[in-house]
Every structure is written in C-alpha cells, then in structure tokens.
Chain A
Amino acid sequence: MTEEGGHGNARASRMGMWLFLFTEMLLFGGLFLVYAVYRRGHPEAFHAASGELSLAFGAGNTILLLTSSLSMALAVAAFERGLISRALALIGGTIGMGLLFLVNKGLEWSVKFGHGLYPGAAVLEARDPGERLFFSLYFAMTGLHGLHVLVGAGVLGAVVVLVRRSGATAERHGPLVENAGLYWHLVDIVWIFLFPLFYLIT
C-alpha cells in the first residue's frame, strides 16, 4: 500500500510499507508451509513432476524479474537525485518486463493445460497423488504470484501517472516511489523462492 504517509512523514510511510510487506510474506508463508508438508510426504513424486516443467521458461522468467528489479532500484536512485524523467523511463522498463513475465507465464500455463496437467483433468487424475499435489501447488502458488506481479505493475503504472500529473519533486514523492519499489522487490523475492522449489528439484 503506497500510502500518503501521514502528513508527509517519510518514516511513517516506510514503516507502514514494511509492515505490509511482512503480511505479504506471511501470506506466501502459509503456502510454503503447505508445500513443505507435501514435499516431505511425497519426495519422489515431486521430483518426477518437477521434471515436466520447462526450465527454459522458468529461467527466462527469473532473468526477466531480476532485471526488472535492477531497473526499479536504478529508478529509485535516479528519483532521489532528482532525475525524474530518467526514473520514469526506468519504471516503464520495469513494468514492461513484468508484463513480459506474465506473458511467458501464460504461455507456460497454456502448454500445461494442453497436456492435461491441471487439477481435475483426467490425465493428471490418473497420476500419483504426489504429482497431483505438486501441480495443484504449482498453479496455486505461481497463480497468486502472477496476481502480485499484475498488481505490482498496476501500482507502478499509477505511480508514473501520479508523478507526471503533479510535477514531482524528490522530497514529495520520494517515499511513494521508494515504497512502490519495495513492493516490486517483494514480488521478485517470492519468485526467487518459487523458481528453485518448482523447477530445480529434479
């Protein structure tokens, strides 16, 4: 939540943002817990199912998100030094990479759907319970993460509009840009955990 920061109080708005990020981490934490329990129960099946995910898609998306985080960090730094238009361009790049990530994800999902590898599909129902759990978790967790990428891109878009419309200054909008950046990094970090847990366990 990129808030108005209590009477322009940067300390308050940063603190509020960090608390919000805690709650996001815990939200995913619940899912990681479920993952841990089932992976422990079905190590081989998770192993086997993981082999069916496309490493190329996963690795490509990882590179995209990491790069987008870099450009976000550069944007925040540029904004602080008052280089507003450069910052906005960098944020634009971040949004673009985020959207590309989603396109990739969509393609990847549709391939899985094509192979009948989704919860409730006959192909998957015939498999070992562990593999079914793996794919259920895969869709739930990458789905929730994708939603966060979308929201993050939306937030960044809103920041761009806001900054443009109101003639930004580093002091006035600094906390806003910084908080939006923090949110984006969170989205990135969650993916850093999702990637090995789903793609790299074979």
Chain B
Amino acid sequence: MADAVVTPAAPWRGYLDAPDGRRGIRSWIFSTDHKRIGVLYLWSVLAFFAVGVALGLLMRLESIAPGPTIMSARAYNAFFTLHGVIMIFLFIIPAVPASMGNFFLPLQIGARDVAFPRLNLLSWWVYVTGAVLALLAMFAGGHPPDTGWTFYVPYSVRTDTNVSLAVLAAFVLGFSSILTGLNFITTVHTMRMKGMGWFRIPLFTWGIYATAWVQVLATPIIAVTLLLVVLERVAHLGLFDPVRGGDPLLFQHLFWIYSHPAVYIMIIPAMGIISEVIPAFSGKRIYGYRAIVYSSLGIAFAGYLVWGHHMFTSGMSDTARWIFSFLTFIVAVPSGVKVFNWVATLYKGSIDLSASLLYALSFIFLFSIGGLTGLVNGALAVNVHVHDTYWVVAHFHYVMFGGTGFAVFAGLLYWFPKMTGRMVPKAPAIVAWFLMFAGFNILYLPMFVLGWMGMPRRYYDYLPELQPLHVMATVGSWILAAGLVVLAATLLRALRHGDPAPANPWGARGLEWQTPSPPPTENFEIEPVLGDERP
C-alpha cells in the first residue's frame, strides 16, 4: 500500500538555502558566498543607519529652541561626532559597494563569486571589529569623543575623551574598505564571463569598479594619518603640535587628501545605481553609455585634486587657493554629464513610475541642489562667508543623504525582488517616498538660509531670531523619520508576505535578471546569454 504522497514543491529559495542544508546564523556569518556577505553588509549598514538617524533626530530636537533643551553642550558635541562617524565610516562608505556591490557585481559580470571569497568574508569581520571599537568609544568608560568626525588636531590630541578608540575604529574600517576594493578590482579584471569586453560591463559595476580604485589608492593615506593622531596622543610625537615645531595644517592636508576622494567613494556607486534604475523604468537603453563610464573614471581621478577646498579659510597661499577653486569647478563637469545623460534617457521613454524610479528621480533633484551649492562653496569669496555654517551642513546632507541615501533606497527597491525573491507592494513604498522627499526638504532647505544668516555648525545654541527656521527643520526631521518608518515596515513585511518575484519583474537588461529570484548559490543554472546585458 505504497501511498503516493505528492508533497507540493517547496517554494524556490535559491541561495537563501545554504548548499549544505545548514541553517541559522552560522550559515551566514561564516559564509563565503558573495550574496550572503552582501546581505550581511546590508543588514549591518542599515542598522547603523538607524542608529545615526536616531542621533540626528535627537540633535534636531535639541535645536528646536535656543539654549539647552534636552542635552548639555558637551553631550551635543558627542552626538554630532558619533552621528558623523557612524554615518560616514559605518554607513555611507560601505553602504553601496560592500552590500549591493558585493551582491550584484559578480552577477552582472556573469561570475560565480568574487576573486577572493574568503578575503571578502574577512573584510566583513574587520568591519564588525571596527564597529565594535566605535561602539566602545561611545559606551566604554570616560567621555565619548567630541571632536567631530574630522578629528582635527590640535583639539583631537588634547581632549580627554575616547578619541584614540574612535580613531582606531576608523583605521580598522578603512582596512575593511581596502580589502573590499582590492577584491572588486581583481574580480572585474579576471572573472568577467567570456565575451564581456570592457565596454559591455553594466554601469553599476563600472561605478563600483571606479570606486574600488579610490578605495585602494586613497584609504592608506587616512590610515597613516589616523595612526599619527594616536601616536601623538600616546607617544607625544609633536608632529602636529606647533609648540614642538609641528604643523596642524599638515594634518588637515593629509586628512582631506583621503577624505575628499572618500566623498566620491560615497557618490560614484550611487550614480551607478541610478544608471541602472533610470533605463529600466524608462523602457530604454541608457543615453550615452560611454560618456557615463568616462565620467565615472573622470570623477574618480579629478577627485584626488581638490582636497584643498576644505581648507580655504585654514591658511593657504593665494595661488593654491585659486588653483583648488578652479579644480573644484572642473570636478563638477563629469557629474553634470551624468545628470544630462539620465534626463536624456528619460526623454520620450515609456516611463513606469515605480517607487524605485521615484527615489531615483529625487536623487537627481536633490543631488543637483547639493552639487550646485557645492559650487557656491567652491567660490573663494563666498566660501569665507559660508565656511563652517549650516550652509555646509545643508550642502553635504543634500549630497550624501539626498544623493547617496536616496540612491540606496532606489537600489534597495529595484533589487529587493532579486535579493529576497519577494515583490514590494507599490502603494506603501510610494507613500514612504513622498514622506521622505517632503520631510527631507523641509528639514534641510531652511539650513541653507540659516547658514547664510550666520548660524555656525556644531553649536547647540543660537540666537532667538533664528528659531522659526530651526523649528521648521525639526518638524521636517519628524516627517522624514515617519517616511523611513513606513519604508522599513513595508520592506520587512514584504520580506515575509510579499508576492513571489519572477526572474525579471522590471524587464531590465543586466545579467542578474537572467537567473531566478533569488539566485541559486552558484548564481546561474544556465550560462547567461550575452548580447543585451547593457542597461
């Protein structure tokens, strides 16, 4: 009586089922599958984003009224330092390359994995080590660091707060970033599938590739600079101490020689996402593929030459000042090229106004505001007026949050079906987008005005006449936070209850769409077909 029980086929889970049938956390944190590592990074990065946002909201609450409102001056100093360190080193630098780059770079070039899978896992562990150090700096005994994320000497050498730990954390995180970059460069050079020449590589991968070079070539400079700060603190070298013959300005130079290129580590991969999303939802090929490739490389290169524009008021020769100012205007050109190409791609396209595309369009809008106000900062005379004011705070939030942040969400919504095998419902994602876009502008637009009126950055107090604009910004921060909550809830719900995703829900072109959602552990069951892969 053999009862032929027909078990219904279990739903396809691809790489989400570990190949050896293992389950649980260990099958993730010790996996060398680039997709699993990408997902690990994604969770880590988003978790720190949430912490950073919470700190930002508290700072905004403090600034709702002049004078001490909910925290002391010293606490405020610690808050903006931690907010900055978390957002820069733990969120935005790894946000796109290490998470989505890890997941999609090998898929887009038809590879099984990255060149060094174990090194890839190591880099995540190094990231976690750095994160733990950063948390220790916050919560271990003593005072949390209060120097700002820039760790400027001489204050960072003198303060009695846990600067050494925070600096060490940044050092370790830099190491993780180098390992990721090195891995990606090698992967793109040696693991592309047969027939994929350089000018057939998808634009997201190009972006990650250009970024990887910046990661490898710029990060060591900050590493050694931070090391010197630690040595100054423990061994009193005096290299940056004017009393002992040192020069604090040298620190600023070394710091920005890395940190300005780092700005492009933050933005180039985001531009790569946009270059995938826009054509996918316009039903067209990207306009000017080569122009976008060359402009990515152009930004990566020119980004090395403009660090001095952070130091116009620090003391530099006039010649150096106008050269840096001129180069700063030049570096805007490749970004302009990209914006032009994206808009030209949309022109006469058959546009599918998905949530992902809405985030991408907001990216263009917000990034353009951030970029154009950057030119204002780059003009020498105006720079003196706006340096270290809320103008700058508004500018870099427009670029980093309005730019890269919104691109992260565009990419997340675009690739969510591929990563999880589930569709995200459209309506709540669009509600979240609307709240975020509105809240963002209500939060940061007033800051331009505040800065122009003379509100200095990094102050917990201000003159009473500035209050209306501060209140507006704080209210904006609540609307923005509401949008983030709606988006998080939508995504978390979709993770469990979303409709199963087909292999290519958007009719998009990259090779990643030729494999089932989610992809199997070895990425492709059948050789992907080249020919139409370029976005």
- Give the complex CA separation of A31 and B190 in angstroms: 33
A23 to B221, CA, bound (A): 9
The answer to whether B183 touches A16, judged by C-beta atoms less than 8 angstroms apart, is yes
Give the complex CA separation of A165 and B119 in angstroms. Answer: 22
Known: A37-B250, A132-B245, A133-B246. A22 touches B216 (CB 8 A): yes
Q: Is A140 an interface position by the 8 A CB rule?
A: yes
B207-242 to A contact mask, C-beta < 8 Å, 1/0: 000000000110111011101100100011111000
Assuming the contacts A3-B119, A6-B114, asked whether A12 and B191 have C-beta atoms less than 8 A apart, the reply is yes
User: Which residues of chain B from 90 to 132 have a CB within 8 Å of any chain A CB?
Assistant: 113-119
A144 to B244 alpha-carbon distance, docked (Å): 22
Q: A130 and B116: CB pair below 8 A?
A: no
Question: A12-B186, A129-B245 in contact; A34/B250 too (CB < 8 A)?
Answer: yes
Instruction: Give, as a whole number of angstroms, the nearest-CB distance from A190 to chain B.
Output: 13
CB distance from B228 to the nearest CB of A (A): 7
CB-CB nearest in chain A for B242: A129
With A12-B191, A37-B250 already in contact, the answer to whether A140 and B228 are too (CB < 8 A) is yes
Main secondary structure of the interface of B (DSSP, over half): helix
CB contact between A23 and one of B186, B220, B225, B250 (< 8 Å): that residue: B220
| Residue ID in chain B nearest A128 by CB atoms | B245
The answer to the question of B189 belonging to the interface, with a C-beta cut-off of 8 Å to chain A, is yes
Q: How many residue pairs between the two chains, A and B, have CB atoms under 8 Å in the bound complex?
A: 115
Q: Which of A125, A130, A132 has the most CB of B within 10 A?
A: A132
Contact code string A94-107 (vs B, CB < 8 Å = 1, else 0): 00000000000000
Name the distance in Å between B192's Cβ and chain A's nearest Cβ. 12
* Interface size, chain A (Cβ < 8 Å): 39
B residues near A136, Cβ cutoff 8 Å: 237-239
Contact A139 B183 (CB under 8 A): no
Binary contact readout A1-28 vs B (1 if CB under 8 angstroms, 0 otherwise): 1011110010111011001101110111
For the complex, give the distance between the alpha carbons of A173 and B360 in Å. Answer: 48
The smallest C-beta distance from B215 to any residue of chain A, in angstroms, reads 9
State the majority secondary structure of interface residues on A: helix
What's the interface size class on B, roughly?
A: 35 or more
- Contact in complex: B238, A133 (CB < 8 Å): yes
A26 touching B221 in the complex, CB below 8 Å, given contacts A129-B245, A140-B239:
yes
Residues of A within 8 A of B228 (CB): 34, 140
B217–A22 contact, CB under 8 A? yes
Instruction: Give the CA-CA distance A16 to B216 in the complex, in Å.
Output: 11
CA distance A29 to B257 in the complex (A): 12
Q: Is B380 among interface residues, defined by CB-CB distance under 8 A?
A: no
CA distance A28 to B183 in the complex (A): 22
Assess whether B245 is in contact with A16, with CB atoms less than 8 Å apart: no
The smallest beta-carbon distance between A150 and chain B, in angstroms, is 16
A114 on the B face (CB < 8 A):
no
- Cα–Cα, bound, A20→B119 (Å): 12
| Segment 128-155 of A: residues with Cβ below 8 Å from B | 129-130, 132-133, 136-137, 139-140, 144
- A24 (CB) vs chain B CBs: closest residue: B220
Q: Roughly how many angstroms separate A137 CA and B247 CA in the complex, as a whole number?
A: 13
A33 in contact with B190 given A3-B118, A133-B245, A136-B237 (CB within 8 Å): no
**Distance of A132 Cα from B247 Cα, bound (Å):** 13
Question: Is A34 a contact of B219 with CB atoms below 8 Å?
Answer: no
A residues near B116, Cβ cutoff 8 Å? 3-6, 12-13, 16
CB closest chain-A residue, reference B183:
A16
Interface residue B469 (Cβ < 8 Å from any Cβ of A): no
Partner of A9, one of B190, B221, B237: B190
CA distance A24 to B191 in the complex (A): 25
Residue from the list A3, A29, A30, A119 in contact with B236, Cβ < 8 A: A119
**Is A16 in contact with B186, judged by CB distance below 8 angstroms?**
yes
State whether A15 and B236 are in contact (beta carbons under 8 Å apart), knowing that A6-B117, A23-B216, A129-B245 are contacts in the complex. no
B178 located at the interface, meaning its Cβ lies under 8 Å from any Cβ of chain A in the complex? yes
Chain B residues with CB below 8 A from A20, complex form: 178, 182
CB distance from A164 to the nearest CB of B (A): 21
| 27 A-B pairs in the complex with CB atoms less than 8 angstroms apart | A3-B119, A4-B119, A6-B115, A6-B116, A6-B117, A6-B186, A12-B186, A12-B189, A12-B190, A13-B116, A15-B189, A15-B190, A16-B182, A16-B183, A19-B181, A19-B216, A22-B216, A27-B220, A29-B220, A34-B250, A119-B236, A119-B237, A129-B244, A129-B245, A132-B245, A140-B228, A140-B231
Residues of B bordering A, CB below 8 Å: 113-119, 178-179, 181-183, 185-187, 189-191, 216-217, 219-221, 223-225, 227-228, 231, 235-239, 244-247, 250, 254
4 smallest beta-carbon distances between A and B, as pairs: A129-B245, A26-B220, A30-B224, A6-B115
Seed contacts A133-B239, A133-B246; 7 additional CB < 8 Å A-B pairs: A6-B186, A6-B191, A9-B115, A23-B178, A29-B220, A31-B224, A119-B236
State the A residues within 8 Å of B (CB). 1, 3-6, 9, 11-13, 15-16, 19-20, 22-24, 26-31, 33-34, 37-38, 42, 119-120, 125, 129-130, 132-133, 136-137, 139-140, 144
